[in-house]
Each structure stands twice: as C-alpha cells, then as structure tokens.
Amino acid sequence: MTGQTPASMRHTPVLLSRTLDLLAPALAHAGAVALDATLGMGGHSEAMLSRFPHLHLVGVDRDPQALGLAGERLARFGGRVTLIKAVYDEVPAVLARAGVDHLDGVLYDLGVSSLQLDETERGFAYAHDAPLDMRMDTTSGITARELVNTADEADLVRIIRRWGEEKFAGRIARAIVAARTVGELATTGQLVEVIRSAVPAAAARTGGHPAKRTFQALRIAVNDELDVLERAIPAALGALDLHGRIVVLSYHSLEDGIAKRELAAASRSSAPRGFPVELPEHQPHFRLLTKGTETPSEQEVAANPRAASARLRAAERIAERPAARHADRHTGRHTDRHTDRRTDRSGA
C-alpha cells in the first residue's frame, strides 16, 4: 500500500532552494516562527527546520492523512514543530492554538498535493478509476460524486468554465446531466468517459487530456479552494512581523492571479492619485521580492515533472503591523523584539 511508504520518498518539494533563499533573511534569527500553511507531506517544512536551527514551525493541513505522514517525517525536530488540522485561511485561529502571536515567514504551496494525486482512491486523478471524492479533508464536506450528480446544468457550466477555464463547459455539463439520468456517476472513470464523449475529437488530440480542466474545476469547487485563498493571503500578510516574508507557489492561472493581486495591493501606496504628499498611513506595507513570477528550471522540471506549472511570488513586510505599533505605545514589547531581531541578523 502506498500509505506505508515514507513521505520523504514520495514527495519532492518544488522550487525548494529558491523558497528557502527567499525566506532566509526572515527565518535565520533566534525566535523565528514560520507557518507552512499547506503542509502536505512536509518536504518544505523539513528543509526549513534543517536550514534554520532556531526556527519554530507551525504546519497546517486540512488532510488528516497528510498530517500523519508529515508528523512522522518531522518527528526528529521534536518541540520545534506544531502541527494543526485546519484550512489554510484560518491563520488567526491557528496561531492562537499554536500559542504564537506573530509570524516571520509564511509559505503557501497551493493546489492538490502529491499525496492526494498518488492515493488513487481519493479520486483526484483522471488517469485512474476510483470513487469520485476529491475532498482534501475526507472527514467532512461534499464529495465530487455528490456535486456531479446533484448540481443543475447551469451550475455545472459555471463551475467548469470559471474554475476549469474549459471552453467546452456547456457541452460537458449537458453530457453529465444526460448521463446521470441513466445512472449515477460514481467513479472517475465514468466521468472521464462522459467528458470524452462531449469534447470534440480534434480538441482532445491537441489540448491534452480532455478531463484535465473539468477535474481541476470540480476539485476547486469541492474544496472551496479559491475563495479560501482570497481570505488566506490577506490573513497571512496581516500576521507577518516587520521584515517577515511570504512565498506563494501556485500551479494554475487562477491561483496565481489571486496571489498577484493580493501581494501587489499590499505593496502599493494607498495615496489618492495626484495627492501631493504620501502620508505615512498611505505608504505600502510590503515590497515585492520577485519580478512577476519565477518558474522552475528545465533541470528541475526534468527531475520532477509535477513542478512544470509552478509559479512563485514573494513579498516582505516593510512597515510594522498595526498591532505591533499599538503594543509599542503601551508596553514597548514589540519594539524590543524587533530591535533584538535586527541585532541577531546583523551579527549573523
């Protein structure tokens, strides 16, 4: 059974060296705290803990199986690791449960994980016949089977077109509705055959697997991924301390579009256009660390084909959090902490 294979042998972290280098200025000092908000099988977390010996890492995943495998992989780091079952937009609640009040680094490695793709019974992969599930958290929520067999045609068109960017969404939705009048669609194989029947043969020959975009759309809908992401990035930005850094790895244009928008908004002045003087409250809170997106090298893609679609964006907080400024006025605690950190970094 694949679940018996150690996570370190099943998962190759994407853009690992670049991710660590971008996070390094924020994580190399004593007392640093990082959030791996999409823990998966723990590859990025293991590398962070190994490179930064003073780091405490909070790892989050909604998938109980992933948490179990990552826990085994990270066990050697003992009390430096806190693992929490949660969705990745629940940043304030996660930090409260972990007993920390700030972050120095955040990583979002989005999309479906290697674990979920490899466990064929989870129903994420169109290449294997399996029950139509697609839930990242198998203990709650609707399954892809329920969605496919109960959503009306208009909703299916909207989901497949919007989240799969599928130009044949109307044809596929009609085919699904027609097929389920004969019998419930219960497996990935059944759904793939329905999709094949709806997509023109010429398009199927030149556009990759005909089910790819529909499966992406259903997975996003089942797990509410993009709505979660739109909440997650602002929540993480709000928790980052001065000089804290965030890295976002995305795997399709919809994810990358949200990351681009949120990081750019945090890195722009809010002063009205034509305003003669930029007041402190209008100055950007972050600066972008990447020009557009960064992508894996040809060598990395050759070694790890799942890295092919990866896109990386990163940013650094350059103005204190409102909570930190508030604490400065009342206790001085945050000021002392930031001063200590700057000393740590300059002496490294």
By residue count, the chain amounts to: 348
Query: Interior CA angle at 12 toward 11 and 17, to 5°?
Result: 145
Which of 140, 131, 138 has its CA nearest to residue 64? 138
Question: Distance between CA atoms of 242 and 220, rounded to whole angstroms?
Answer: 33
Kindly state the tokens that stand for 270: 């809010």
All residues at 6 or more sequence positions from 124 whose CB lies less than 8 Å from its CB, including other chains? 112, 116, 117, 133, 134, 215, 219
Say whether 36 counts as a known binding-site residue: no
Bridge partners, 34 (sequence order): 57, 105
Say whether 59 counts as a known binding-site residue: no
Question: Distance between CA atoms of 141 and 149, rounded to whole angstroms?
Answer: 15
Say whether 208 counts as a known binding-site residue: no
Say whether 104 counts as a known binding-site residue: no
Say whether 42 counts as a known binding-site residue: yes
Which of 191, 21, 185, 9 has its CA nearest to residue 107? 21
Say whether 126 counts as a known binding-site residue: no
Say whether 207 counts as a known binding-site residue: no
Q: What is the dihedral of CA 172, 177, 182, 187, to 10 degrees?
A: 60
| Whether 249 contacts 15, CB under 8 Å | yes
Please give the annotated binding residues for S-adenosyl-L-methionine, written as ranges. 42-44, 61, 88, 109, 116
Please give the annotated binding residues, written as ranges. 42-44, 61, 88, 109, 116
